[in-house]
Every structure is written in structure tokens, then in C-alpha cells.
Amino acid sequence: MILVTGSGGFGHAGFIGQRLVENLKRKKLDVAEFKGDIRCSRTVRRNFIDRCDVVFHLAAQTSAPLSVKDPVYDFETNALGTLNILSCAKENKARVVFTSSAAVYGEPKFLPIDENHPLRPVSPYGLSKMTAERYCLLFQELYGLCVTVLRVANVFGPGGHGVVNKFLERVLRNKPLIVYGDGEQTRDYIYVDDVTEALVKAVKVTGVYNIGTGKKTSINQLIETMEEVTGREMKVQYKPEKPGDIKNSYFNVAKARDDLKFQPRFTVKNGIKKTLAWMEKEGI
């Protein structure tokens, strides 16, 4: 039995979890979706009744700004919630694949970022994900729990909540795109279906892996790609950059490529096409 947390919209990770469930079902695997609040240990134990062999743990609070406003809720969801999952996984001898974030790295000291980069988060969100990671690795060391940690780059796709999805929503509503700063800031954007494939592959290994494309894309390049896909010129409003925003970030993904045999299938352009088509179909 495979258990997936975060597939029902709990936090912004819900869209990844839902796509993962769909992926696993296409592979004819037996999947159960977690129902309830991972902060409640009794709820977590109730979800483990059917004795799971593998747990994909995606349920999370994923907003850095929200974590600044409410660090307690952020900690309880990401750190305490993960501890509850790990405790039950230990009792059931279940393998855990934990979805972490690029936020654990903080301001990059070098690029591209590899898995040995120092962990210096700059938000409560990054700190709570780092704490959850440490619990995962400690449970592996102390109790022999099989754990894989995936530090995922900027994910976009149907149902997503990141900058790509927000831009496309404004495009469909004929609203100008809002860019903070000069638009030259870069990120590693990866399509959601590539992330779910990485999650499936991660079951066969243990350790920490960066999951991204290994390519940097600026906000301005995103906008140019959207213009190519839609065939129209975007209206853009540039505003002062937000204090504390990281200027550049993208991953070194050699370890995932070598150990997981992971290779993203979707370019940013193809991912934008698929996301836009889904939005139009859903009437967003």
C-alpha cells in the first residue's frame, strides 16, 4: 500500500500530490490518500491502519510570506507534521519519500546549487523544511528508516500556485503582469509531471537529491516564452523588488541524473503550453 499526504489540497503542495496519485494509479499501484490534518498524531495514526509500505509525504505549508506572518503554524505543519508521519512510518517499517524545497539553501553561495551547499534558510518556511529534513535523516540513522529527501525547485503546472500559474491567470484575464525588480532574477522551473516521475524513482534510493531542470530561467525569459505560446505581447508592470528576495537560484541535478536516472521531459515552454491549455479548459 502506498500512502500520499498532501494530495487533497492541504497547503499549496496539493497539486503535486494529486498529480502523483494520478501517476501512481496509471501505473496500476495501490494508493491511499491521507485524510485529515498531519499536525494531529491521532489522525496520522488512523491513516496508517492499512499498513503502508511507502509514504510520499507532500503535505506542507509552502508559502514563505505566510510563514513570516505565522511561524508557529508553519512549524507545526512542516516540522511537527513530518515528525508525526515519521513516527508512524517507523512503527510500520514504511519507506518515506519526503518533498523538501530549495528554500533550505537560502541565499546561494555558489551556482548551480548542489546537495552539499550550506543550508542557511532565510524564512521560517525554509527553516521548518530544513528541520523536517533533519528529522528524516535522524530517523534513518537512529531507527534504520529508509528515507529519501527531494529538494524540489520551482514547480508549476495544472493547479499550481507559483509565479508561472499566477502570470498565466493574469494573461487569461487580460491583466498586466506584475514583476518585482528588473525581471532578471532567475529560478529553476520544473513541470509538475517531471516532479512526480522523480518521486516515483526516488523509492529505489535513499539520500538527498535536488530535483529541477538544472537550467536557469529569468522572469523576463518566462514572459517572452508566454508571448511565444500565446502569440501576443504581454503587458508588464515593473515594481520595486521585495526586500529579502533571492536574486538567482538554480540547481545542479547531476546526482539525481546519475542515481535516479532522472531526466526532465518537459521544457518550460512545453510546460507552459500544457498549463495554459488546462486553465482554458477549466475556465480559469
pLDDT band for position 10 (cuts 50, 70, 90): very low
Q: Where are the domains of the chain?
A: 2-282
* Contact criterion met (CB below 8 Å) for 177 and 199: no
For domain 2-282, give its CATH number from 3.40.50.720, 3.40.50.170, 3.40.50.360, 3.10.20.600: 3.40.50.720
**In one letter, which amino acid is 245?**
D
pLDDT digits (tens, 9 = 90+) for 135-177: 999 999 999 999 999 999 999 999 998 999 999 999 999 999 9
Contact partners, residue 90, CB within 8 Å, separation at least 6 = 139, 143, 145
Q: In which band, very low, low, confident or very high, does the pLDDT at 242 lie, cut at 50, 70 and 90?
A: confident
Average pLDDT score, the chain: 94
* Range with lowest mean pLDDT among 35-49, 115-129, 180-194, 267-281: 35-49
pLDDT, position 59 = 95
Categorize the per-residue pLDDT at 12 as very low, low, confident or very high, splitting at 50, 70 and 90: very low
Residue 13, pLDDT above cutoff 70: no
In Å, the largest CA–CA distance within the chain is 57
pLDDT of residue 243: 75
Measured between alpha carbons, how far is 88 from 72 in angstroms, rounded to an integer? Answer: 23
Per-residue exposure over 249-267, b if at least 16 CB sit within 10 Å of its own CB, e if not: bbbbbebbeebbebebebe
- Model confidence pLDDT, tens digit, residues 213-239: 999 999 999 999 999 999 999 999 999
Active site residues: 125
Angle at 19 between CA 14 and CA 25, to 5 degrees: 125
Instruction: Name the band, by pLDDT with cuts 50, 70 and 90, for residue 8.
Output: low
What is the distance of C-alpha 10 from the center of its chain?
Answer: 13
Q: Is the pLDDT of residue 54 over 60?
A: yes
Provide the pLDDT confidence category of residue 50 given band limits of 50, 70 and 90: low
Strand boundaries in the chain, DSSP class E: 2-5, 31-33, 54-57, 95-101, 147-152, 154-156, 177-180, 186-187, 189-191, 207-211, 217-218, 236-239
